[in-house]
Amino acid sequence: MLVGLVSLLAGCTEVNQPITDKSTGFWNQYIVYPLSQLIIYVANLTGDYGLSIIIVTILVRLVILPLMIKQLKSSKAMQDLQPEMKLLREKYSSKDQQTQQKLQKETMELFQKHGVNPLAGCFPLIVQMPVLIGFYHAIMRTRAIAEHSFLWFDLGHKDPYYILPIVAGVATFIQQKLMMAGSAQQNPQMAMMLWLMPIMIIIFALNFPAALSLYWVVGNIFMILQTLIINKPKLRTSPDPAPNAKLQKAGGKKK
């Protein structure tokens, strides 16, 4: 619903209209047109529009990287609290108003105790969505892109061998899997999204120009690497979940 609302506010109804210096409106003049010109500028430097899309995609992802890091950390903090939140929901399973108020109160106390803001992950998402949608518009509405080819496909037409849509779907699945990091097992809705998003991306990629599929592939690969890098130190410094088990195997006893 959030993505749909932002997309509507971002002017998705103009997606079939070419973007030029004569395009009017704040959205076109200050977001879509500058991104379109950046793609054209990098293409003139490299001599290839496909390479330009890859470079500009990475640049855009680097610009919003601080917001993504904040979102990932907030998501990880919420995932760490899921077991305790589940216990609270079981403790206050009754649906009467008084019980639900107690549940809300203890849930907020749990957030405060661990310094977690449940809304912290929403703001970075809201800020970055217009940028990503603007880049999507820039690719779709820059007519020069459709006139060029890259590797085995024409940027303005569908991938004839369906390689990009499949890679985009697989990359989306891996990226979703890494970001959810165990919460899918605890939340059936999250598990459904784990499969729904890649399927949607494949369907869209099969019907949209290959330039957009290329953008999705590069963007998702960047996010996969970003998530692995951010989570790697935590994996290294994570304590042994069962230190006493090793002592017992070695013959040690707890005193």
The 10s digit of each residue's pLDDT in 110-148 is 878 877 776 665 665 666 677 778 888 888 888 888 888
- What is the predicted pLDDT for the residue at 51? 93
- What is the predicted pLDDT for the residue at 1? 46
Task: For residues 5 and 10, give the distance between their C-alpha atoms in angstroms, rounded to a whole number.
Answer: 8
- What is the predicted pLDDT for the residue at 6? 46
- What is the predicted pLDDT for the residue at 137? 85
Q: Is the pTM of this model over 0.75?
A: no
For residues 63-68, average pLDDT? 81
- What is the predicted pLDDT for the residue at 52? 93
Task: For residues 28 and 63, give the distance between their C-alpha atoms in angstroms, rounded to a whole number.
Answer: 20
Closest Cα to residue 131, out of 196, 42, 215? Answer: 215
Q: Which amino acid is at 23?
A: S
Q: Show the CA angle centred on residue 214, arms to residues 129 and 145, nearest 5°.
A: 95
The pLDDT tens digits for 8-48 are 444 455 667 888 888 888 888 888 899 899 999 999 999 89
Residue 208's H or E segment, with its range, is none
- What is the predicted pLDDT for the residue at 251? 44
Confidence band of 93 (pLDDT split at 50, 70, 90): confident
Confidence band of 208 (pLDDT split at 50, 70, 90): confident
H-type alpha helices, 81-238: 82-91, 97-114, 122-141, 143-146, 163-180, 183-186, 188-207, 210-237
